[in-house]
Copies of this chain bind each other. A is one copy, B any other.
Amino acid sequence: MPEPDTAVFFEVFNEIGIIEQLSRTILEARMPAGLIAPHFTVLNHLTRVGDGQTPIDMARAFQVPKTSMTHTLKGLEQHGLIETRPNPDDGRSKQVWLTDKGRALRSDIIASLGPDFQFLSEHFDTAKLSEIRPVLTALRIFLDENRHMVGKTMSIETTS
């Protein structure tokens, strides 16, 4: 036990890793065959922050390499859930737009998660979750802003 102070990070990251695994499985169980969590994440993001995002913006938002975003978008496009158009402001870039089918699918998935979340909220104190949410958000923002300060000056290639 070298650092009593920093051990919390270890514990918290550990729990978060397992919760991520479990929650992803719940989500994917409600998604159509051929689509997985990252696809939903994109549909959801475009709905919330608005259409017309560029792939690189979304790669940064989710902290995934841009090659992963390329792959995810390809899958969404093949399923007719998004459309891409050239970015009028930048010839290198694309903009991503939801199709009606994409919007509908997002709604359907959220609706089908309703019973799951209903069950969860009946058996787990959602007030606790409301309490921790701001801390998680702060932690996410902090890690995001300082990702070049930890882990070896993280590879430039990773996202930018």
In whole angstroms, how far apart are the Cα atoms of A106 and B56 in the complex? 35
Instruction: Please classify the interface of chain A as helix (H, G, I), strand (E, B), loop, or mixed, using the class held by over half of its residues.
Output: helix
> Would A140 and B19 count as touching, CB distance under 8 A?
yes
Q: How many copies of this chain does one complex carry?
A: 2
Cα A151 to Cα B140 in complex, Å, equals 26
Interface size class, chain A: 35 or more
In the complex, chain B residues whose CB is within 8 Å of the CB of A21: 62-64
With a cutoff of 8 Å between Cβ atoms, the chain B residues found around residue A9 in the complex are 117, 120-121, 126, 129
Give the distance in Å from the alpha carbon of A54 to the alpha carbon of B142 in the complex. Answer: 38
| A22 in contact with B147 (CB, 8 Å) | yes
- Quick check: A138 and B128 within 8 Å, CB to CB? yes
Does B41 contact A17, Cβ atoms closer than 8 Å? yes
Q: Tell me which of A25-33, A69-77, A78-86, A95-103 binds B.
A: A25-33
Instruction: Please give, as numbers and ranges, the residues of chain B lying within 8 Å of A114 by CB-CB distance.
Output: 2-3, 6
A12 touches B146 (CB 8 A): no
Q: Does residue A20 face the partner (Cβ distance < 8 Å to B)?
A: yes
